[in-house]
Amino acid sequence: MNKDKAIRVTNFLKKFSPCDISDSLVKHGFPNGGFFPNLQVQSNFELPIVGEAYTVLYAPLDDPRPAISKSYIDSIPLNSVLIIATTQILQLPYAPYTRINNAMYGGLMSTRAKFQNCNGSIIFGRIRDIQEHNNLQYPVMSYGLGTTAPKPVLKLIGINVQLEIVLNSYPNKTTLETIDPGDLIIADENGMVRIPISKIDDSTLENILDYIPKRVKADQLVAEDINEGKEAAKSQKLRRSNL
Ligand SMILES: O=C([O-])CC(=O)C(=O)O
Ligand code: NI
């Protein structure tokens, strides 16, 4: 997506919650609503986190791919959400979702990310320095916490590459969801939602965006109906009937 459009879309999405985005994604053929489960909010910040995915991939030291010597943290593009994940072999479909007990991310990284106006960091693994993220009032989400730096067990192998997230969801034993660089991310204490920009065309994106405020309005009317003593199911059917 070109930058002007991305900023316009990001500013629009900031007015909504990830739940609103999921409602629209369900309507447009994504049964999981773009949701990535099991992430926890780890710092105090203004919600939601919205931006384009800037992706970082870590692997175990014995991965055959070479380590990248460049730092990912010093060149964060405008309008980004930093997304850090590991290769599949380091992921678990059940809690704690990662086989790496070292923290993949810490306070200095948030300090640098915030300096570059990054919109937030979402780590599919552990983070450390919890107080530092809080003091920065910079948004961080992760699967969990740790105390040890990543270097003894992990190497950086990709910047702005596709990430594969291992998920467990009925009826499949495990599934993979990908996150591509430039995908739209919106996250808050409910969790993270991804609009898969790389997999949809422009008109589908416009339809997804158009639906969001209409559905929010309909649900506001349902809430008013309920407060007037009407039945929820009937009101939902009526208010959503022309969407
Ligand atoms: O030392 C590291 O690799 C990570 C860390 O704690 C920080 O970014 O503050
Ligand atoms: Ni640190």
When pLDDT is cut at 50, 70 and 90, the band that residue 101 belongs to is very high
**pLDDT > 90: what percent of the chain?**
92
How far does the centroid of ligand 2 lie from the alpha carbon of residue 3, in Å?
A: 32
- Pocket-testing residue among 43, 105, 155, ligand 1, by greatest number of atoms within 8 A of Cβ: 105
When pLDDT is cut at 50, 70 and 90, the band that residue 91 belongs to is very high
How far, CA to CA in Å, does 46 sit from each of 15, 114, 122, 199? Answer: 12, 13, 15, 29
Specify the pairing of strand 121-127 against strand 172-179. Answer: unpaired
Which DSSP state fits 211? H
pLDDT value of position 45: 86
User: Mean of the per-residue pLDDT values for the chain?
Assistant: 96
Would the CB of 107 count as within 6 Å of ligand 1?
Answer: yes
Q: Residues at the annotated binding site for Mg(2+)? A: 129
Q: What would the mean pLDDT of 96-118 be, rounded to a whole number?
A: 98
Half-sphere exposure (Cβ direction) of 2: Cα atoms closer than 13 Å: 2
8 A C-beta contact, residue 110 and residue 121: yes
C-alpha–C-alpha distance, residues 140 and 119, integer Å: 10
The residues near 51 (Cβ < 8 Å, ≥ 6 apart) are: 10, 79, 80, 81, 118, 119, 120, 184, 185
pTM to 2 decimal places = 0.95
pLDDT value of position 172: 79
Would the CB of 108 count as within 6 Å of ligand 1?
Answer: yes
Ligand closest to Cα of 150 equals: 1
Q: What would the mean pLDDT of 208-235 be, rounded to a whole number?
A: 94
Ligand closest to Cα of 102 equals: 1
Q: What would the mean pLDDT of 74-97 be, rounded to a whole number?
A: 97
Closest ligand 1 atom, residue 105 Cα = 4
The residues near 223 (Cβ < 8 Å, ≥ 6 apart) are: none
How far does the centroid of ligand 1 lie from the alpha carbon of residue 148, in Å?
A: 9
Half-sphere exposure (Cβ direction) of 239: Cα atoms closer than 13 Å: 20
Closest ligand 1 atom, residue 109 Cα = 8
Q: Where are the beta strands (DSSP E) in 21-171?
A: 35-36, 40-41, 49-60, 80-86, 121-127, 140-145, 154-159, 163-169
8 A C-beta contact, residue 102 and residue 146: yes
**Which residue from 60, 17, 34 is spatially nearest to 190, judged by alpha carbons?**
17
Ligand closest to Cα of 113 equals: 1
How far does the centroid of ligand 1 lie from the alpha carbon of residue 140, in Å?
A: 14
- Pocket-testing residue among 72, 128, 148, ligand 1, by greatest number of atoms within 8 A of Cβ: 128
What residues does 176 pair with on adjacent strands?
166
* pLDDT over 90 at 46, yes or no: no
C-alpha–C-alpha distance, residues 47 and 138, integer Å: 10
Which DSSP state fits 88? G
CATH value of 3-19+30-198 in 3.30.565.10, 3.50.30.40, 3.40.50.2000, 3.30.420.280 = 3.50.30.40
Would the CB of 113 count as within 6 Å of ligand 1?
Answer: no
**Which residue from 227, 228, 220, 20 is spatially nearest to 239, judged by alpha carbons?**
220
- Tens digits of per-residue pLDDT, 148-177? 999 999 999 999 999 999 999 888 789 999
Half-sphere exposure (Cβ direction) of 27: Cα atoms closer than 13 Å: 20
How far, CA to CA in Å, does 125 sit from each of 14, 58, 130, 222? Answer: 25, 10, 14, 38
Nearest protein Cα to ligand 1, atom 1: 149
How far does the centroid of ligand 1 lie from the alpha carbon of residue 107, in Å?
A: 6
ipTM of the complex in this document: 0.95
Would the CB of 149 count as within 6 Å of ligand 1?
Answer: yes
pLDDT value of position 158: 98
